[in-house]
Amino acid sequence: MTIEEALKVTNKKVIETLGGLPAQKIHCSVLAEEAIKKAIDDYRAKQAK
């Protein structure tokens, strides 16, 4: 997956890819989306140095 593709990952796409999640676990998909975006931000910051 390219960086551009990874930036398009949403919590809804995570849920769909996993075949659904129980209501009490939806926050995990949000954490996954946030983690991907933070990892990309970190990668780009390191590459800029």
Report the alpha-carbon angle 40-44-39, nearest 5. 25
CATH number at residue 39: 3.90.1010.10
pLDDT of 8 reads 96
How far is residue 31 CA from its own chain's centroid? 7
What is the pLDDT at residue 17?
Answer: 96
Exposure of 10 in the CB half-sphere (CA atoms within 13 A) = 4
Predicted local distance difference test score (pLDDT) of residue 38: 98
pTM of the model: 0.85
Q: What pLDDT does 7 receive?
A: 96
pLDDT tens, position by position, 1-49: 999 999 999 999 999 999 999 999 999 999 999 999 999 999 999 999 8
Contacts of 38 (CB under 8 A, 6+ apart): none
Domain housing 43? 3-48
Give the distance, in angstroms, between the CA of residue 24 and the centroid of all CA atoms in the same chain: 18
Number of domains into which the chain is organized: 1
